[in-house]
Amino acid sequence: MLPSFLVALSILLRNDFAAAEPPIVSLSYGTFQGLTEGNLTKFLGVPFGQAYVQPALISSMIRVEVFTLHSGRFEVPRAPGQLQGVQNATTLGPACPQQALSLLPVPFVPGKYPISEACLMLDILSPTTLNSNSNAPVFVWIFGGGFEVGNSRDIDVSPVVERSIDTDEPVIVVTPNYRVSAFGFLAGKEVDAAGITNLGIRDQIFALRWVQKHIAAFGGDPDRVVVGGPSAGAISTSLLLLSNKQNSNALFRGAFMESGAPWTLPSVADSDLQSTYDSLVIANNCSAASDSLECLRRIPFESIMATVNRTLDIFSYRSLSLFWTPYIDGDVISRDPLVSVSQGLYATIPLMIGNADDEGTSFSFSNQNITYVHPVVAGKFPESAQERMQTQIGHLYPEDPTQGSPFGTGTAYQLTPEYKWLAAFQGDFAFVGPRRSFLEKASVTQDAWSWLSKREKDTPFGAFHGSDVALWFPNNTTGETFAVDALSKYFAHHQLNQVNKNSMKSTSSIH
């Protein structure tokens, strides 16, 4: 009996050992070893592109680490070099450089993680049951952060994967980094001439092309890719939807936009954007250089970061009149997004798009003493029309706190006489209005779903911008699964099964 028992035990031990073997995936440029956590397989910090400059100068919020860097600050992303040996993909990679924020008016705590210009990496989360033949739907999550901050680890996307397992509708989630602030959205005639416009959006497109090429090795179906995110991630998604020279809207089959829609943008040579470039050149002592852009590429990271941090951020008095923003370049963004929408120049694919009820509160906290139309408006209308628009806006958004945001709170939370009307206007102007405008057109050409979140109204911020993220990515202990089911099942799987790859038009419906 003893020999038989030992044989059985050895078989069991071999099986346990085999089950504990870490997952390995071989791609055309390298082999990666991930990890298994519960019923999820994770590949973390996988490079999808390369871009950077000097060795060694890398900032961290809690420590300094050294990464292998590549040439390419203020350059378009390119494919990673060939990697030798098995690469460790069990830890999150560094975030791209983050702009310092002047204040944090909503519950937001920046993470403590390494920062590097060598940041074009992504994470892949999938059910452990998948293999290279599974052809599961893929959700590419684009983080938000006002195009100034954010990285792939900001939101725990595992609830979507976990819930997809529970409902027997397995989904893979991919979370790429992209460059933000000056490193991703530097503009000006010099930038245009060098062909390096909208680098942050180019990074997103590059990540989507990586998904098309490599996701099958992880069990994903490149023909069933959904792109989405919150805030800047939603605006990015809306821009990727538009027709452009990069054909970005051919890289996915569904879109999810949480508090963000196509809105009007400046051009690459806009005087405000050019002055921002010029000020960065002056601040880094590059004015006398024959090639100011090349000079900026050679400035030590800590030095250029210090000058970028002195520009006004999204929580400064400028608020939604962003210093660092996507812009019309005739390539990545071919024309004003509102023109593209009006002409039907966007992908007619299933989409979900919604808002929180009080989108404008967190962006009005820093300019609550303003008594005239905010600069965010001044840049959007011709100078000749601004006086008329100011009068009309004053009529539509009276200084009556019962009509202001947070909506439905009566006279409460009137921080100043202007705060609630300004919050109401900015939320409508930047988020709710663009969503409604886009849906008015898109609901005729494709399946479209929308929502409005009216959660928590017990603070001066109400159901603030981004507060509905918890609906879609709840803590696993909350038991809130309706929105997760809608995302992982009805949208990412059911609807995409009905979309013909070669004929993207579908019936219309809004719920």
Measured CA angle at 166 (ends 163, 172), to 5 deg: 50
Match 């009007």 to its residue by tokens: 264
Residue 499 is which amino acid?
V
Residues with Cβ within 8 Å of residue 393, at least 6 apart in sequence: 373, 377, 425
Can you tell me the distance from the alpha carbon of 96 to that of 104, in angstroms, rounded to the nearest whole number?
20
Can you tell me the distance from the alpha carbon of 394 to that of 454, in angstroms, rounded to the nearest whole number?
25
Which H, E and C letters describe 214-272, residue by residue?
A: HHHHHCEEEEEEEEEEECHHHHHHHHHHECCCCCHHHCCCEEEEECCCCCCCCECCCHH
Residue 215 is which amino acid?
I
DSSP per residue, 354-422:
EEETBTTHHHHGGGTT--S--HHHHTTS-HHHHHHHHHHHHHHS-S-GGGSSSTT-TTTT-SSTTHHHH
Q: How far is CA 51 from CA 48, 172, 436, in A?
A: 10, 26, 37
Q: Are 349 and 504 in contact (CB under 8 A)?
A: yes
Can you tell me the distance from the alpha carbon of 416 to that of 410, in angstroms, rounded to the nearest whole number?
14
Distance of CA 206 to the CA centre of its chain: 14
Backbone angles phi, psi at 222, to 5 degrees: -65, -15
Backbone angles phi, psi at 273, to 5 degrees: -70, -40
Bridge partners, residue 187, by sequence:
none
Q: Identify which of 109, 124, 127, 116 has the alpha carbon closest to the alpha carbon of residue 70.
A: 116
- Tokens encoding 224: 């069933």
Q: Identify which of 361, 394, 365 has the alpha carbon closest to the alpha carbon of residue 377.
A: 394
Can you tell me the distance from the alpha carbon of 268 to that of 260, in angstroms, rounded to the nearest whole number?
21
Can you tell me the distance from the alpha carbon of 1 to that of 324, in angstroms, rounded to the nearest whole number?
74
Catalytic residue IDs: 231, 359, 465
